[in-house]
């Protein structure tokens, strides 16, 4: 199915399959299985071994990497992460995405924009994807603390990695991977200068985390507070579209 065109008129072939495990997580799953077999096979401690084996399955599930059907369109911004929309607010983008970094490529302009925060629990897929097609202009890693990623101040104090993607027409989108209370490593799949497609895998964060997206000025979200969204599939916003949306929790 990878690379196949599907549409809302029934074009394309679809079938269910087990999601593959990303190579980054296979070693952790194998280690977890090996550790669980020690009490089961060598020590005959079933009361410990079986729960550990179940936990091993959870490790594999954490690193699952399902295919996604990415909406196409000139103005579409797709969600870069699975999870819960935990915060929508107006703020300045991080300085690392705005200031001159010496590369000659300008960053995001000064001034408040809409920030959408997506909280990923340990049960969500943790592969992050590009919200638009374009060139990776900046990739800035910042070491920091490991507070609860659901807290607003985690955007400024936790370990994090900033991305800046620029389209051919000059439109720029900034987003940030933020490590959380349990997360201990941010892993990029791309580097500055790489050209990425909308929905392409760009990195992951291990074990619970958050992603902040900074929308261009004049663009409002098409998602709501408390909404569950899917990386590479949920339309986060459409460029230049401003409209109040309301939802009812039920």
Instruction: List the catalytic residues.
Output: 209
Quote helix, strand, coil % in the chain, to nearest 5: 20, 30, 50
CB 149 within 8 A of CB 193: no
CB 173 within 8 A of CB 47: no
Burial class (CB in 10 A: 0-12, 13-18, 19+), 40: middle
Residue 47: how many CB atoms within 10 A of its CB? 7
Q: Please report the DSSP string for 156-194 in residue order.
A: HHB-EEEEEEE-TTS-EEEEEEEE-SS---EEES--TT-
Q: How far apart are CA 132 and CA 197, in angstroms?
A: 7
Which tokens hold the place of 177?
């991977």
Hey, is 248 helix, strand or coil? coil
């Amino acid at each position: 199915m990878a690379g196949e065109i599907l549409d809302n008129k029934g074009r394309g072939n679809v079938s269910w399959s087990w999601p593959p495990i990303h190579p980054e997580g296979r070693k952790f799953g194998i280690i977890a299985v090996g550790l669980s077999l020690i009490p089961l096979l060598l020590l005959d401690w079933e009361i410990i071994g079986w729960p550990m084996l179940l936990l091993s399955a959870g490790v594999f599930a954490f690193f699952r990497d399902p295919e996604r059907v990415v909406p196409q369109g000139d103005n579409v911004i797709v969600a870069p992460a699975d999870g819960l929309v935990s915060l929508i607010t107006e703020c300045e983008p991080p300085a690392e995405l705005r200031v001159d970094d010496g590369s000659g490529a300008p960053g995001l302009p000064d001034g408040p924009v809409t920030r959408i925060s997506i909280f990923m629990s340990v049960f969500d897929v943790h592969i992050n994807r590009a919200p638009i097609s374009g060139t990776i202009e900046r990739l800035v890693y910042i070491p920091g603390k490991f507070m609860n990623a659901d807290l607003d101040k985690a955007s400024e104090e936790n370990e994090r990695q900033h991305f800046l993607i620029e389209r051919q027409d000059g439109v720029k989108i900034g987003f940030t991977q933020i490590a959380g209370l349990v997360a201990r490593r941010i892993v990029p799949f791309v580097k500055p200068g790489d050209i990425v497609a909308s929905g392409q895998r760009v990195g992951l964060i291990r074990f619970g985390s958050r992603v902040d997206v900074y929308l261009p000025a004049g663009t409002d979200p098409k998602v709501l507070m408390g909404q569950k969204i899917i990386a590479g599939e949920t339309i986060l916003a459409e460029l230049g579209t401003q409209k109040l949306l309301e939802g009812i929790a039920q």
